[in-house]
Amino acid sequence: MDWVAVALTEDVPPGVVIPSRIEDTDLAIWCTPSGRYHAWSDRCPHRGMRLSHGFVRGETLACIYHGWQYNETGSCDYIPAHPKLTPPDTICVPTYTCAEEGGVIWVSLTDTDRPLPALGGRTPVRSLPVNMSAADLAAHFGATTFTTIAVVSDVDVLLAVQPCTGGTCMVHALAAAEADRSSVSHWLENLRATLEGVPA
Amino acid sequence: MNAAIDNHWYPVAMITGIDAPRETLLLGKKITLGREDGTCWVLDASGAELPTVERFGHLWTSPGQPNRDLFTIPEADNPGRRLVDVGSVKVKCSPLRAVENFLDIAHFPFVHTDILGAEPHTEVDRYDVKIREEVDEVWATKVKFYQPQAAKSAAGGITTEYMYRVPAPTCSVLYKTCPPRPGEWDIITLFVQPLTDEWCEVWPWMALYDDDSTMSEMVSFQQLIFMQDRSILENQIPRKLPLDPGMEVPTQADMTSVAYRRWLKKIGYTYGAQLVAA
Amino acid sequence: MILYDYVLSASCYKVRLMAALLGTPLTLRAVNFHPGREHKSPEMLALNPKGTLPILQDGDTVLTDSADILRHLTADHPEWQSSDDDRWLDFASDLNDSLGLARLHDVIGYAADIDTARAAGVTALRKLEAHLTEQRFEGLIFLTGKTPTIADIACFPNTALAPDGGVSLDPYPSIRLWMRAIRSLPGFIEMPGIHRLHELAHPA
């Protein structure tokens, strides 16, 4: 499996957890207070609650439901209902390969030795949801893969496309550092309107 | 037809809320209910009349042939109690998830913060749980927890004692320390109508000793609490309740939930349950 | 000041939240909106013939529109007002008519064309996301500038409660950071469906 862009780093500041997904795999993406990113299965093993609704406290991610805290390896190391208990090693959250490059958080659902996608020195602009599948979006631009799609029109933009559930996708757009981000953002809104066939 | 599921009584309406006939769902099937000359009726999709019971302010029905009467709560009849129709809230989760959440106290500090619980008072002491075979009900007793504001009638933080009872698969009755009347129990129930196996309508009902709060205040308090739970219930994966061990990890604080799941499995109540790990 | 309040109402929460952030005490009168329909009772209709909530009573003044109430509460707090507020107060009523309606439908069974309400809600969220993204390009986090105003307080509740009506907030990073900034404000209070930031608590 190839790398997939799941969020921009500026949208996941230290101490924040967000929901994300790759197709049908729900992810909790979080950043420790010291700035390390993690991509986990978005499900607390205790009662199935989405961890993306939880909170970062210290270098742990805690579930909102019962406050169970998971350290950076995904192992549970604190259960508030039993403060004196050392939780068994078996209580852990499945974790995925996660890396940060060029202001983008990348995830691979399987171990990979592929290099991270080249971004050509571009920097992130914004992410936006599009009601179109990642494959159809790639096909629209004549691209064979949606990992990154270079678009050269009136603006030079690189689109890193994240396939989501229900035939939708999230588009993470990057542009040259000197580009006017507001113009790129408007171009994206118009692109989405064209792709979805609705007025912007 | 599955007798283990159909032969139970289910809440389908608050009696005071029935005016014109209306449709709803029960176990995924359309039913129609109404009231004529003060008596409530329920019809199934084919127009056949279903049995009814009017109790605890609610209308109950069954798509099957219940082999016993709807459970009773004798304590609720004690003079001086105020009976509170809380109204219903719809939730996209298994009816069994809604009941299990009601049986859980460990979430209070995080979901009902500063009301039913608060850090650092998170510890759950051992309590007693058993399936009372003679009545075929799940009971948890001697459940104690520190609560900043246990009820609308509570003036400050107290250690509250709870008894939980599951008299039917989609219903639970909670007996709880009554702040203004030490020695008596407040009664708070959760009656769950299974609309489908992943969608339910929850009808809380209460019988409280509280001479000071207005009825609206008591309704508000319970709606506040239940709506705090709703955002949890709609975000548990899977929406159905896993009955097989292995998919979710309980601890000692979850003894009531473990007994509830075991009991559901024993009586063959599988509606809204997930039996095989996904 | 007396607020006739319904605990699950997003519009009543705007008023409670604004007052909490200002440190203005409110006397709350619980109204049994659901299931009691007490807002349509003769006593309440005498106070507000529209039969809606919230109602704020301040001496002889009775206000029944949440935007008017926000302006009234902040009359002596110019830092909470901006010249851009009006368009966002209008936008807040769009949110109420779309996301707010979807929520009432899904939670307490209000009659609604749910697909239309949700679609209008998504359109509104996309507008909000686009604006907040522009603000972030300028280094600003709130709707009208560096600090929050009544615009933010008016738009926050129905946005944050969108999932109650079956509308996901997952794909809107700028909205998420904006909501977090509001939840971080000193004096912030939650309502059911909106959790406080537990990371700010002091555990054992």
Indicate which of B111, B195, B216 best probes the interface with C, i.e. most C CBs within 10 Å of its own CB.
B216
pLDDT along chain C (204 residues), means of 10: 98 98 98 96 97 97 98 98 97 98 97 98 98 98 98 98 98 98 97 91 54
Asked if C195 lies within 8 A of B231 by C-beta distance, the reply is yes
Domain with CATH 3.40.30.10 in chain C: 2-78
Contact of A50 with chain C, judged by CB distance below 8 Å, is answered with no
Contact of C134 with chain A, judged by CB distance below 8 Å, is answered with yes
- Answer whether residue B278 shows pLDDT above 80: no
CATH 1.20.1250.20 fits C79-183, yes or no: no
Compute the nearest-CA separation of A88 from chain B (Å).
Answer: 11
Domain B75-274 fold: Naphthalene 1,2-dioxygenase Alpha Subunit; Chain A, domain 1 (3.90.380)
Minimum Cα–Cα distance from A57: chain C residue = C199
According to DSSP, residue C100 is labeled I
Q: Indicate the domain borders of chain B.
A: 1-70, 75-274
Compute the nearest-CA separation of C133 from chain A (Å).
Answer: 8
Chains near A (3 or more Cβ pairs under 8 Å):
B, C
Q: Indicate the domain borders of chain A.
A: 4-108, 123-196
Contact of C139 with chain A, judged by CB distance below 8 Å, is answered with no
Would you call the peptide bond into A87 cis, given omega within 30 degrees of 0 as the criterion? no
pLDDT of residue C97: 98
Considering only CB atoms, A64 lies closest to which of B110, B122, B123, namely B110
Report the pLDDT averaged over residues B183-212: 97
Across chain A, the runs of DSSP E, i.e. the strands, are 4-8, 17-22, 25-31, 37-41, 55-57, 60-62, 69-70, 76-78, 95-101, 104-108, 123-130, 149-152, 156-163, 169-175
Mean pLDDT, all residues of chain A: 95
Helix axes C101-108, C114-137, angle to 10 degrees: 130
Given a contact cutoff of 8 angstroms between Cβ atoms, the answer to whether A122 and A177 are in contact is yes
Separation of alpha carbons B94 and B109, rounded Å: 24
pLDDT of residue C202: 54
Given a contact cutoff of 8 angstroms between Cβ atoms, the answer to whether A8 and A105 are in contact is yes
Compute the nearest-CA separation of C131 from chain A (Å).
Answer: 10
Domain B1-70 fold: N-terminal domain of TfIIb (2.20.25)
Condensed to tens digits (0 to 9), the pLDDT of residues B46-56 reads 999 999 999 99
Residues lower than pLDDT 50 in chain A: none
Considering only CB atoms, C32 lies closest to which of B113, B119, B216, namely B216
C2-78, superfamily in CATH?
Glutaredoxin (3.40.30.10)
Asked if B237 lies within 8 A of A53 by C-beta distance, the reply is no
Separation of alpha carbons B161 and B125, rounded Å: 11
Considering only CB atoms, B85 lies closest to which of C35, C107, C196, namely C35
pLDDT of residue C200: 72
The confidence band for B277, taking pLDDT boundaries of 50, 70 and 90, is: low
CATH class, domain A4-108, is mainly beta
Considering only CB atoms, C35 lies closest to which of B87, B217, B230, namely B87
Condensed to tens digits (0 to 9), the pLDDT of residues A43-86 reads 999 999 999 999 999 999 999 999 999 999 999 999 999 999 99
Given a contact cutoff of 8 angstroms between Cβ atoms, the answer to whether B117 and B106 are in contact is no
Asked if C199 lies within 8 A of A57 by C-beta distance, the reply is yes
